[in-house]
């Protein structure tokens, strides 16, 4: 099986560790998707086919999952992923405006990347912090009470390449 | 062993109607046996149970038993008490157990059916006037049975792709799809070509083919058949004809010795489509795509429509038959080349004619190719076994007529009667053809018809009645779907006409041919054309035929006889 994605050594190792944990190989498909996405940033068509072959599935079976779960991506994303909550509390508190501000700041379409490919802005469903609405997640960091002003500040930090706290490398 | 078990029937109740079914029977089937239809979309008798459409929800009750003793609990009148489960259950995932009861028309069941129907129609486009499925659409049918008649939905309907070409023969309209997953399961379980699936979620769920792949296996059109709505349509049939105008005729596919049962749909003498007909012993509910194309041969450009005598077309078919018969009289050295595509009746008459004309050689052209293990067998002749039973041949046919070649070279043969077979395709060279007088009876022009002294136009399988014997030795009949295009003659009349020239009077009527066959052929004893059931009749061939080494490998509902088994 040719690895056209140049997965990192650690990822391959983790993949080989995780598969035998399940009584049936196919059950490992979600952990594998997460590992590949962590490694690659998204699950490409090649990755889908690679995983399918690895687990004795057909590519469509894996593709259905990739497209079903919002946290799995089938397209490349920027280095920074900005997710704006749009579920009820946040929406009422003005998250659409927040989102528009962020998109304007990075000059990107909804669910799209900034022209340099560095940042992605997208809506997310409930981020489970309704009492501090509207909320935004930049990669793994939660930002609360993000009004337009705060949104501009966050955008500025990202554009200036502020070191990010926590999250995966 | 299994048969004993099958005999044990249990009693279940559908809407208080008593039905006896084998244990484990699907409750939709049990209800059908009671003459009650449980509405359903995702359930298909030949696919796994998915249970996702929820249309078959019914009320479910079990006979009450005493927990301590396990004895049935009776009411005051001595009748079995029934515990009705408060929540509805889907009938398709409920198996028959002794005493189980379902209600399909109770208030609860009714409200479930209406509720599911309303939700299915929420995002379904009002396409019926331009939809190919209209008239044979389950959604349409159940909407009239269980729908409210008007919509309470005021929001905008979903917009999805309307024209996705899933493969060369299948078109997908995603808005019409009700996500029953029958097509997905068919591709997984029957066609073994897992390319279809659902992407995205909720009301945005969309049926799709894996990017870069196509639904192009030779069974893809079955997905169109089983699609309960107009989501999947055949590119060949799309927008051509309304189903309610179509006349349906039972037929048999000539693609191979599987003998797939089919329905030929025609209107005003023109065939519009071929679809499979359910036969649980032969093809279940499936059919290969390639077999559905065969109706096109009826109106093919190279169709033979008129008799030809010495290169001149003639309207006088009777005269041409006489010419042909005259060529066979006298001191001729004749070979008869029959066809495994002819019906049993034709092969019988052809053999009779060969005997009358004193044929020195009779042969059949074999057509062996690789089978697909499902519904196309290795023997691409639909009726080689018919030729064996009628005695036209005694051995399995070869693709190349080498005996005939030798005989022509040695000038032991100077006349050949070719029945719907192209001799040059069967290995007879141009020089050899030039050495013999040819009489050709057939449906289409070919090298042989071009060189024939007399050409008699025959009928395709769609233009006549007849029967084939398939690989299981199952005698199956096909009926005339459209009037014959060739000048007023059908095969049996041509053969009977030639026999008459030899002073042998036989009636070309199919019942009369069968009367004679049942008298003279042991295997056909007591069988008549009208007596052949629509699902076919399993014959008991003589042992020397059973022991032949047939080319077929295993396929759906067919296992070739094992070597050892054939000896004992």
Q: Residue A111's pLDDT is what?
A: 74
Q: Residue B492's pLDDT is what?
A: 94
Q: Which domain holds residue A42?
A: 9-68
Task: Say yes or no: B410 and B550 in one domain.
Answer: yes
Return the residue matching tokens 């105008």: B245
**Among candidates B53, B183, B152, B35, which has minimal Cα distance to B105?**
B35
Q: What averages of pLDDT result for each successive group of 10 residues across chain B (568 residues)? A: 64 94 95 96 96 96 89 87 94 94 96 95 94 95 93 92 95 96 97 95 93 95 97 96 96 96 96 97 96 95 93 92 92 93 96 94 94 95 96 92 93 94 93 94 94 94 96 96 82 94 94 96 95 95 91 91 54
Last residue of a domain, one of B63, B82, B115: B115
**Among candidates B120, B119, B127, which has minimal Cα distance to B173?**
B127
Q: How many structural domains compose chain A?
A: 2
Cβ-based contacts of A64 with chain B (< 8 Å): 197-199
CATH of the domain at B230: 3.30.70.20
Instruction: Name the A residues in 111-150 with CB < 8 Å from any B CB.
Output: none
Give yes or no for residue A168 having a pLDDT over 80. no
User: Torsions phi, psi of B505, nearest 5?
Assistant: -95, 115
Which of B166, B198, B203, B210 is the best mutation test for A, with the most CBs of A within 10 A? B210
Q: Residue A79's pLDDT is what?
A: 85
List, as one string, the DSSP characters of chain A.
---TT---HHHHHHHHHHGGGSSSGGGGHHHHHHHHHHHHSS--HHHHHHHHHHTT--HHHHHHHHHH-TTS-SS---SEEEEEE-SHHHHHTTHHHHHHHHHHHHT--TTEE-TTS-EEEEEES--S-GGG-S-EEETTEEE-S--HHHHHHHHHHHHTTPPPPSS--
Other Cβ atoms within 10 Å of B346 Cβ, number: 31
Q: Residue B351's pLDDT is what?
A: 96
* Angstroms from A153 CA to nearest CA on chain B: 34
**Among candidates B210, B243, B211, B207, which has minimal Cα distance to B225?**
B243
Are B253 and B200 a contacting pair, CB within 8 Å?
Answer: no
C-alpha A140/C-alpha A81 separation (Å) is 9
User: Torsions phi, psi of B512, nearest 5?
Assistant: -70, -40
Return the residue matching tokens 């909320």: A135
Last residue of a domain, one of B243, B263, B291: B243
User: Torsions phi, psi of B273, nearest 5?
Assistant: -165, 160
Q: Which domain holds residue B170?
A: 125-243
Q: How many structural domains compose chain B?
A: 3
Return the residue matching tokens 């979600």: A30
Cβ-based contacts of A58 with chain B (< 8 Å): 194-195, 210
> Cα-atom radius of gyration of chain A, to the nearest Å?
18
> Cα-atom radius of gyration of chain B, to the nearest Å?
28
Cβ-based contacts of A60 with chain B (< 8 Å): 194-197, 209-210, 213
User: Torsions phi, psi of B232, nearest 5?
Assistant: -105, 125
Give yes or no for residue A42 having a pLDDT over 60. yes
User: Which residues, at least 6 apart from A43, have a Cβ–Cβ distance to it below 8 Å?
Assistant: A33, A36, A37, A51, A66, A72, A73, A74
pLDDT tens per residue, range B339-373: 999 999 999 999 999 999 999 999 999 999 999 99
C-alpha A24/C-alpha A22 separation (Å) is 5
Cβ-based contacts of B194 with chain A (< 8 Å): 58, 60-61
Task: Say yes or no: B463 and B507 in one domain.
Answer: yes
pLDDT tens per residue, range A87-139: 999 999 999 999 999 999 998 877 778 888 888 898 998 999 999 999 999 98
Cβ-based contacts of A67 with chain B (< 8 Å): 199-200
Question: How far is C-alpha B64 from the geometric centre of its chain's CA atoms?
Answer: 46
Cα angle vertex B34, ends B28, B39, to 5°? 35
C-alpha B555/C-alpha B284 separation (Å) is 12
Instruction: Give yes or no for a cis peptide into A21 (omega within 30° of 0).
Output: no
Tell me which DSSP letter residue B509 carries. S
Asked if B197 lies within 8 A of A63 by C-beta distance, the reply is yes
* A109 class by beta-carbon count within 10 Å (0-12 exposed, 13-18 middle, 19+ buried): exposed
- With respect to residue A73, please indicate whether it lies within any of the assigned structural domains: no
Question: How far is C-alpha A37 from the geometric centre of its chain's CA atoms?
Answer: 8
**Among candidates A119, A98, A167, which has minimal Cα distance to A139?**
A167
Task: Say yes or no: B332 and B475 in one domain.
Answer: yes
Return the residue matching tokens 């799209």: A112
Size of interface A-B (CB pairs under 8 A): 29
CATH of the domain at A22: 1.10.10
- With respect to residue A166, please indicate whether it lies within any of the assigned structural domains: no
User: Which residues, at least 6 apart from B564, have a Cβ–Cβ distance to it below 8 Å?
Assistant: none
Tell me which DSSP letter residue B365 carries. B
Of the partner residues A45, A60, A68, the one whose CB lies closest to the CB of residue B194: A60
User: Which residues, at least 6 apart from B225, have a Cβ–Cβ distance to it below 8 Å?
Assistant: B275, B276, B285, B287
Q: Residue A160's pLDDT is what?
A: 84
Q: Residue A167's pLDDT is what?
A: 40
Last residue of a domain, one of A41, A68, A95: A68
Task: Say yes or no: B77 and B140 in one domain.
Answer: no
Give yes or no for residue A166 having a pLDDT over 80. no
* Angstroms from A61 CA to nearest CA on chain B: 7
Asked if A60 lies within 8 A of B197 by C-beta distance, the reply is yes
The complex's ipTM works out to: 0.85
Task: Say yes or no: A112 and A150 in one domain.
Answer: yes
Return the residue matching tokens 């944990």: A21
Share of chain B above pLDDT 90, in %: 89
- With respect to residue B371, please indicate whether it lies within any of the assigned structural domains: yes
Task: Say yes or no: B135 and B8 in one domain.
Answer: no
Give yes or no for residue A85 having a pLDDT over 80. yes
- With respect to residue A29, please indicate whether it lies within any of the assigned structural domains: yes
Share of chain B above pLDDT 70, in %: 97
Instruction: Name the A residues in 46-105 with CB < 8 Å from any B CB.
Output: 58-61, 63-64, 67-68
Q: Residue A41's pLDDT is what?
A: 87
Cα angle vertex B6, ends B1, B11, to 5°? 145
């Amino acid at each position: 099986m040719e690895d056209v994605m140049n997965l990192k050594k650690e990822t391959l190792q983790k993949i080989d560790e995780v598969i035998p944990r399940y009584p049936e190989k196919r059950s490992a498909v979600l952990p594998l998707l997460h590992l590949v996405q962590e490694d690659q940033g998204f699950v490409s068509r090649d990755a889908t086919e690679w995983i399918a072959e690895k687990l004795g599935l057909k590519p469509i079976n894996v593709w259905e999952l990739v497209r079903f779960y919002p946290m799995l991506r089938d397209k490349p994303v920027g280095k920074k992923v900005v997710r704006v909550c749009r579920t009820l509390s946040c929406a009422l508190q003005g998250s659409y405006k927040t989102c528009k501000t962020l998109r304007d700041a990075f000059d990107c379409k909804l669910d799209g990347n900034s022209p340099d490919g560095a940042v992605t802005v997208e809506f997310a469903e409930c981020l489970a912090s309704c009492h501090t609405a509207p909320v935004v997640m930049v990669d793994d960091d939660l930002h609360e009470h993000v009004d337009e002003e705060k949104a501009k500040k966050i955008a500025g930090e990202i554009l200036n390449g502020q070191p990010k706290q926590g999250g995966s490398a | 062993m299994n048969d004993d078990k099958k005999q044990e029937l249990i009693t279940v109740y559908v809407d208080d109607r008593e039905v006896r079914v084998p244990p484990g029977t699907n409750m939709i089937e049990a209800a059908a046996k009671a003459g009650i239809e449980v509405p359903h979309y995702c359930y298909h008798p030949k696919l796994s149970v998915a249970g996702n459409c929820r249309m078959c929800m019914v009320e479910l009750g079990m006979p009450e038993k005493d927990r301590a003793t396990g004895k049935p609990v009776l009411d005051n009148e001595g009748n079995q008490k029934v515990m009705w489960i408060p929540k509805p259950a889907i009938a398709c995932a409920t198996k028959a157990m002794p005493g189980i009861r379902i209600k399909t028309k109770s208030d609860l069941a009714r409200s479930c059916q209406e509720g599911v129907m309303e939700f299915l129609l929420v995002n379904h486009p009002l396409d019926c006037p331009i939809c190919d499925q209209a008239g044979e659409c389950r959604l349409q049918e159940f909407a009239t049975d269980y729908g409210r008649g008007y919509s309470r939905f005021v929001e905008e309907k979903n917009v999805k792709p309307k024209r996705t070409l899933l493969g060369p023969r299948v078109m997908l309209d995603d808005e019409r799809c009700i996500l029953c997953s029958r097509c997905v399961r068919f591709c997984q379980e029957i066609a073994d070509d897992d390319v279809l699936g659902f992407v995205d979620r909720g009301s945005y769920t969309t049926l799709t083919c894996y990017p870069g792949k196509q639904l192009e296996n030779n069974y893809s059109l079955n997905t169109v058949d089983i699609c309960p709505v107009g989501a999947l349509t055949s590119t060949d049939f799309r927008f051509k004809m309304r189903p309610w105008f179509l006349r349906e005729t039972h037929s048999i596919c000539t693609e191979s010795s599987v003998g797939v049962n089919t329905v030929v749909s025609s209107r005003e003498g023109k065939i519009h489509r071929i679809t499979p007909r359910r036969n649980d012993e032969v093809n279940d509910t499936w059919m290969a795509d390639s077999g559905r194309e065969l109706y096109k041969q009826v109106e093919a450009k190279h169709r033979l429509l008129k008799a030809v005598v010495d290169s001149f077309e003639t309207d006088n078919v009777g005269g041409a038959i006489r010419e042909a018969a005259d060529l066979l009289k006298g001191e001729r050295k004749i070979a008869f080349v029959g066809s495994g595509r002819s019906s049993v009746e034709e092969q019988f008459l052809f053999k009779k004619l060969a005997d009358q004309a004193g044929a020195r050689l009779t042969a059949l052209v074999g057509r062996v190719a690789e089978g697909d293990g499902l519904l196309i067998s290795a023997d691409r002749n639909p009726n080689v076994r018919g030729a064996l039973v009628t005695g036209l041949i005694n051995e399995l046919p070869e693709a190349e007529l080498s005996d005939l070649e030798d005989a022509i070279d040695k000038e032991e043969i100077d006349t050949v009667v070719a029945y719907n077979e192209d001799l040059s395709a069967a290995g007879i060279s141009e020089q050899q053809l030039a050495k013999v007088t040819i009489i050709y009876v057939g449906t289409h022009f070919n090298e042989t018809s071009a060189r024939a002294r007399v050409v008699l136009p025959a009928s395709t399988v769609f233009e006549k009645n007849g029967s084939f014997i398939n690989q299981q030795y199952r005698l199956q009949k096909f009926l005339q779907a459209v009037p014959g295009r060739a000048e007023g003659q059908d095969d049996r009349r041509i053969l009977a006409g030639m026999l008459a020239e030899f002073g042998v009077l036989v009636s070309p009527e199919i019942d009369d041919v069968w009367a004679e066959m049942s008298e003279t052929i042991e295997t056909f004893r007591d069988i008549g054309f009208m007596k052949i059931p629509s699902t076919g009749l399993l014959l008991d061939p003589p042992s020397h035929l059973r022991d032949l080494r047939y080319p077929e490998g295993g396929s759906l509902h067919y296992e070739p006889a094992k070597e050892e088994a054939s000896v004992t």
